[in-house]
Amino acid sequence: MHVPDGFIDAPTSAVTGVVAAGALAVSLRGARRELGEERAAPLAGLVAAFIFAVQMLNFPVAAGTSGHLLGGALAAILVGPYTAVLCVSVVLLMQGVLFADGGLTALGVNITDMAITTTVVSYAVFRGLLALLPRTRRSVTAASFVAALVSVPAAAVVFTLIYAIGGTTNVSLGKVATAMIGVHVLIGIGEAVITALTVGAVVAVRPDLVYGARGLRQKLRLRVDGELVDATDAAPAPVAARTSRRTLWLTGLVASLVLAGFVSFYASANPDGLEKVAHDQGIDRKAERHASADSPLADYGVKDVSDARLSGGLAGVIGVGVTVVAGSAVFWAVRRRRETAPAEA
């Protein structure tokens, strides 16, 4: 759902830029609290890199249409809503500057739609469901599925509203809304599956590292007569019995590199939901050439590397590396600012 340059007029793009800047400022303050907890900080940079990698994996959703992860729900549940806005924004910035994916003048639109909307909507749904469900791992996974599912059509609605205000072409808003919401409900199913599987996997080994699973306890499993059984009272598992933070981080990084560097070659080549709707409805008539179209990594390929598989794989690996470094630097700086703030005061 990366909005290119030219879809939205300059005044509206400027307003969404101000909205995005304000949300990022608020998120920086909120992330200081979230990252102040030792459990959340190590995951933040990795979450950004993982979202970048999975966004390269377009999956088919309908005839001639594909979709990809937006990531707001996944990030919000894993590391907290404020940090999630920063995670997705870092990804969008890397994609726009290095890979010519998503317009630079439309960066405010994309952050407002893909980072802010998905995070706010998904986390509100997630917390609401957890208030009604038992505080179990299954509840966290189920709530993450529903939250992610709802967040994608919500982003489609917000794009339609932005387009209604500042769209550069004169097309039927009713048709745009129907097409956008319809295809993004299908994409939302894919988003929900990816989010639930990822959250469920992390909750299964380290629930204490999942922001949305705070308060859950990991059951200690004992072998009795050759069978594994849960210990009484869901006693917390000793640190030695858990997957270490370093192991989890390295596993996530390797998974991201494999997804971006190898699995991405098999992603659907069909246009994503917004591209398909834009072409069918004529929204893209005034699309502009990307400012980074001549980037060595434009369109997720390495310039002058003729082999498509190698070119795309190298671009994916570079993207994961740059994103994890940039994201980790941002979150380290935010956390350090929190640690030094009392002394400065």
Residue 250 located in a structural domain? yes
In the structure, what pLDDT confidence band is assigned to residue 295 with cuts at 50, 70 and 90? very high
CATH of the domain at 63: 1.10.1760.20
In the structure, what pLDDT confidence band is assigned to residue 235 with cuts at 50, 70 and 90? very low
Residue 4 located in a structural domain? no
Mean per-residue pLDDT for 167-174? 92
Residue 39 has what pLDDT? Answer: 52
Residue 178 located in a structural domain? yes
Residue 225 located in a structural domain? no
In the structure, what pLDDT confidence band is assigned to residue 43 with cuts at 50, 70 and 90? confident
Least confident of 34-43, 209-218, 253-262, 291-300: 34-43
Residue 100 located in a structural domain? yes
Residue 223 located in a structural domain? no
- What rounded mean pLDDT belongs to the chain? 90
Instruction: Report whether pLDDT(272) > 90.
Output: yes
Instruction: Report whether pLDDT(223) > 90.
Output: no
Q: In this structure, what token pair is assigned to residue 12? A: 């509206």
Question: What pTM was estimated for this model as a whole?
Answer: 0.90
Domain that holds residue 294: 10-215+245-344
Residue 221 located in a structural domain? no
Instruction: Report whether pLDDT(222) > 80.
Output: no
In the structure, what pLDDT confidence band is assigned to residue 3 with cuts at 50, 70 and 90? very high
In the structure, what pLDDT confidence band is assigned to residue 35 with cuts at 50, 70 and 90? confident
Provide the number of structural domains found in the chain.
1
Residue 239 has what pLDDT? Answer: 45
In the structure, what pLDDT confidence band is assigned to residue 163 with cuts at 50, 70 and 90? very high
Mean per-residue pLDDT for 203-232? 71
Residue 338 has what pLDDT? Answer: 62
Residue 317 located in a structural domain? yes
